[in-house]
């Protein structure tokens, strides 16, 4: 057992239904151990994000946070870190964030060093990105380098999922990127994470210097900690990407201290950024836009993800996953819908890697495969999980394509308008296009699964509520079209007359087809589109689970 571990837990120690096995990793404030479930049954049932019961895995990672011992000041600090991580895990379940199954508290006065410790039961990864880089870079490399661009796309997805949910990671580095059995990446270690309060959040004054932007290296620390912006995560991503792709840091120096000084000189304008010539094509510009001298110049997470997807060629699959969790902000200009809908014919729109998106869509940890189980079997089970995503809000036994379920469910949930439901969005996609991502009607200038007119889509495609600089050109993938539909519905809902008779969801769909003014003027569904509204009502009933509105 390494003496440097922050929390020493003996092998065989029991916490709940878990038995501690081998140590995995440690940080300054907590330690992680492999554990196996030792109950005789199938394990305690938990409620997943879809509302359906699921079983604890056979193996997990236990993260011990020692909040029960120490000086009062030290205890207060440790509890704050534990609370940050617990709060994020309880509020967010995202495909690119490591998953927490349960949280336990050690009650063991006989072991005062463990008594009172918070234990997070997390999905177990194969290794960290830091361990992978140690094995595959430099003269002592023991294997082929990782599929770096794909990993970087997934890391960027995780950051965007955090930022869209209103959080900053605050300590992105290779040790906090975990690689799962299927090779996918998850962000982890959220005890420095903070929820945004407007443009800023507040975090403890601890971070890894190599991944800390210059504006935070000597920033003022107030009573609530250090003010931080999402742009700090973007700087950290730029450093991490440079390290992953070249094996070196982007700022010169043989130690973190000398690299910190180089960052300060760069920020003051007394030195230039010298990126490695070994960066693959397209990456130098991306890294440079992450590592700007000031946070105001830094690229946003959304723009960064689009650039990374483009340069890695992963936009069709990873982009579909990453843009499902848009944080909808209904601050949009008034625009009619009259020009958006007409008859449709089919043209081609690229939507590659659909199967790859379905595989692992729910972000679940794969349990250890029994002997003889093939990867095909595991892949089938993951597709099954995708088909059941959001089952509490959307029927899983109907014709809704599994690849769009996460997009539909999360888009509706982020709207926070009670009448903009997953079943409404699914019903509208069914009626508008029969879930056809390749739909195109050039005669009416309408494209994609939600039948967007380009000049109108430009008002709804950006989640910050500002129109795109230029009119977008088709094809419009579902990852863009479905969140845009949600933003528009979210804007429509509060503008409909509250006294209108009938199902509010049907009225919202009618306003999408025409405009909310026309629905208000008609005191209901305009007769012209009654057949459309009837079809919406039919699929609403079909897609809504029993007991739901």
pLDDT tens digits, 521-534 = 999 999 999 999 99
Whether residue 366 has pLDDT greater than 60: no
Highest mean pLDDT: which range of 190-204, 249-263, 402-416: 249-263
What is the fold of 128-314?
Answer: Transferase(Phosphotransferase); domain 1 (1.10.510)
Residue 285 phi/psi, 5° resolution?
Answer: -65, -40
- Structure tokens given for 85: 């991580």
- Structure tokens given for 150: 């794909």
State the pLDDT at residue 419. Answer: 95
For residue range 191-221, what is the model confidence (pLDDT) as tens digits?
A: 888 888 888 888 776 678 899 999 888 766 7
The alpha carbon of residue 409 and the mean position of all alpha carbons in its chain are separated, in whole angstroms, by 14
DSSP SS3 for 267 = helix
Query: Confidence class of residue 143 from pLDDT cuts 50, 70 and 90?
Result: low
State the pLDDT at residue 300. Answer: 93
State the pLDDT at residue 220. Answer: 65
Question: What percent of the chain has a predicted confidence (pLDDT) above 70?
Answer: 77
State the pLDDT at residue 77. Answer: 59
For residue range 90-112, what is the model confidence (pLDDT) as tens digits?
A: 888 888 899 888 889 899 988 88
Residue identified by tokens 């002997």 is: 371
Residue 168 phi/psi, 5° resolution?
Answer: -115, 135
Which runs of consecutive H residues, i.e. helices, occur in 313-367?
Answer: 318-322, 354-358
Name the average pLDDT for the chain.
Answer: 79
What letter does residue 515 receive in the DSSP assignment?
A: -
Nearest to 152 by CA among 94, 239, 89: 239
Whether residue 364 has pLDDT greater than 50: no
What are the residues whose beta carbons fall under 8 Å from the beta carbon of 87, sequence distance 6 or more? 195
Whether residue 145 has pLDDT greater than 70: no
Quick check: 94 and 123 in contact, CB under 8 A? no
State the pLDDT at residue 400. Answer: 92
State the pLDDT at residue 92. Answer: 82
Kind of pairing between the strands at 439-441 and 446-447: antiparallel
What are the residues whose beta carbons fall under 8 Å from the beta carbon of 69, sequence distance 6 or more? 75, 112, 113, 115, 116
What is the fold of 345-543?
Answer: Lysozyme (1.10.530)
Q: Which residue has the higher pLDDT, 347 or 375?
A: 375
Query: Confidence class of residue 7 from pLDDT cuts 50, 70 and 90?
Result: confident
Quick check: 429 and 408 in contact, CB under 8 A? yes
How many other CB atoms are found less than 10 A from the CB of residue 375?
A: 11
Question: What percent of the chain has a predicted confidence (pLDDT) above 90?
Answer: 43
Using CA atoms, how far apart are residues 44 and 57, in angstroms rounded to an integer?
10
Residue identified by tokens 């938990």 is: 46
For residue range 480-523, what is the model confidence (pLDDT) as tens digits?
A: 899 899 999 999 999 999 999 999 999 999 999 999 999 999 99
How many other CB atoms are found less than 10 A from the CB of residue 526?
A: 18
State the pLDDT at residue 148. Answer: 65
State the pLDDT at residue 179. Answer: 93
State the pLDDT at residue 70. Answer: 56
DSSP SS3 for 352 = coil
Residue identified by tokens 């000597």 is: 218
DSSP SS3 for 117 = coil
Quick check: 250 and 287 in contact, CB under 8 A? yes
Quick check: 480 and 461 in contact, CB under 8 A? yes
Q: Which residue has the higher pLDDT, 93 or 464?
A: 93
State the pLDDT at residue 69. Answer: 54
CATH architecture type of domain 14-124: 2-Layer Sandwich (3.30)
Q: Which residue has the higher pLDDT, 158 or 94?
A: 158
Nearest to 24 by CA among 55, 56, 64, 57: 64
State the pLDDT at residue 548. Answer: 78
Using CA atoms, how far apart are residues 498 and 516, in angstroms rounded to an integer?
12
What are the residues whose beta carbons fall under 8 Å from the beta carbon of 296, sequence distance 6 or more? none
Q: Where exactly are the structural domains of the chain?
A: 14-124, 128-314, 345-543
State the pLDDT at residue 71. Answer: 53
> How many helices (H) and strands (E) would you count in the chain?
18, 19
How many other CB atoms are found less than 10 A from the CB of residue 88?
A: 20
Whether residue 472 has pLDDT greater than 80: yes
Quick check: 12 and 19 in contact, CB under 8 A? yes
State the pLDDT at residue 418. Answer: 92
State the pLDDT at residue 139. Answer: 59
For residue range 308-339, what is the model confidence (pLDDT) as tens digits?
A: 988 888 654 333 343 333 332 233 332 333 33
Can you name the residues that pair with 47 across neighbouring β-strands?
53
Mean pLDDT of 409-416: 84
Whether residue 248 has pLDDT greater than 50: yes
| Helix H or strand E encompassing 102 | strand 100-105
* Confidence (pTM): 0.58
How many other CB atoms are found less than 10 A from the CB of residue 488?
A: 26
């Amino acid at each position: 057992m390494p003496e440097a571990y922050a929390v020493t837990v003996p092998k065989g120690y029991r916490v709940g239904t878990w038995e501690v096995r081998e140590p995995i990793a440690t940080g300054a404030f907590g330690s992680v151990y492999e554990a196996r479930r030792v109950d005789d049954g199938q394990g305690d049932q938990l409620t997943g994000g879809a509302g359906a019961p699921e079983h604890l895995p056979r193996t997990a990672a236990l993260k011990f946070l020692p909040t029960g011992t120490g000086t009062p000041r030290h205890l207060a600090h440790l509890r704050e870190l534990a609370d940050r991580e617990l709060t994020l895990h309880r509020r967010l379940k995202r495909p690119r964030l490591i998953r927490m199954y349960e949280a336990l508290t050690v009650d063991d006065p006989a072991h005062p060093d463990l008594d009172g410790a918070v234990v997070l039961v997390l999905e177990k990864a194969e290794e960290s990105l830091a361990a992978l880089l140690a094995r595959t870079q430099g003269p002592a490399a023991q294997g082929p380098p990782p599929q770096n661009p794909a990993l970087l796309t997934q890391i960027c997805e995780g950051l965007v999922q955090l930022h869209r949910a209103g959080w900053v990671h605050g300590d992105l580095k290779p040790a906090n990127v975990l690689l799962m059995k299927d090779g996918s990446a998850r962000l982890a270690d959220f005890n420095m994470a903070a929820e945004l309060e407007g443009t800023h959040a507040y975090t403890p004054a601890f971070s890894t210097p190599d991944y800390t932007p210059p504006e935070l290296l000597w920033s003022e620390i107030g009573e609530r900690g250090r003010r931080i912006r999402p742009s700090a995560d973007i700087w950290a991503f730029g450093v991490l990407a440079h390290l992953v792709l070249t094996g070196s840091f982007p700022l010169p120096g043989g130690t973190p201290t000398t690299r910190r000084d180089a960052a300060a000189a760069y920020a003051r304008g007394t030195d230039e950024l010298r990126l490695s010539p070994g960066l693959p094509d397209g990456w130098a510009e991306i890294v440079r836009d992450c590592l700007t001298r000031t946070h105001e110049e830094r690229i946003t997470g959304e723009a960064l993800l689009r650039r990374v997807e483009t340069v890695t060629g992963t936009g069709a699959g990873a982009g579909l996953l990453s843009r499902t969790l848009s944080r909808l902000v209904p601050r949009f200009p008034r625009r009619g819908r009259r020009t958006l809908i007409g008859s449709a014919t089919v043209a081609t729109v690229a939507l590659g890697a659909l199967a790859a998106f379905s595989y692992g869509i729910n972000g679940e940890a794969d349990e250890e495969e029994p002997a003889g189980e093939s990867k095909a079997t595991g892949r089938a089970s993951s597709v099954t999980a995708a088909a059941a995503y959001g089952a509490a809000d959307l029927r899983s036994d109907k014709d809704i394509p599994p690849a769009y379920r996460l997009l539909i469910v999360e888009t509706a949930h982020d709207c926070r308008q009670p009448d903009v439901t997953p079943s409404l969005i699914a019903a509208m996609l069914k009626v508008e296009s029969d879930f056809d991502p390749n739909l195109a009607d050039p005669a009416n200038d309408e494209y994609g699964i939600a039948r967007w007119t380009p000049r109108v889509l430009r008002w709804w495609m950006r989640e910050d509520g500002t129109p795109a600089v230029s009119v977008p050109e088709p094809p419009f993938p579902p990852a863009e079209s479905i969140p845009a539909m949600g933003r528009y519905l979210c804007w429509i809902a509060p503008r409909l007359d509250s006294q209108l008779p009938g199902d509010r969801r049907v009225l919202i769909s009618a306003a999408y087809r025409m405009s909310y003014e026309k629905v208000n003027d008609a005191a209901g569904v305009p007769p012209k589109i009654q057949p459309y509204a009837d079809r919406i009502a039919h699929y609403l009933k079909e897609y809504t689970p029993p007991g739901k509105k």
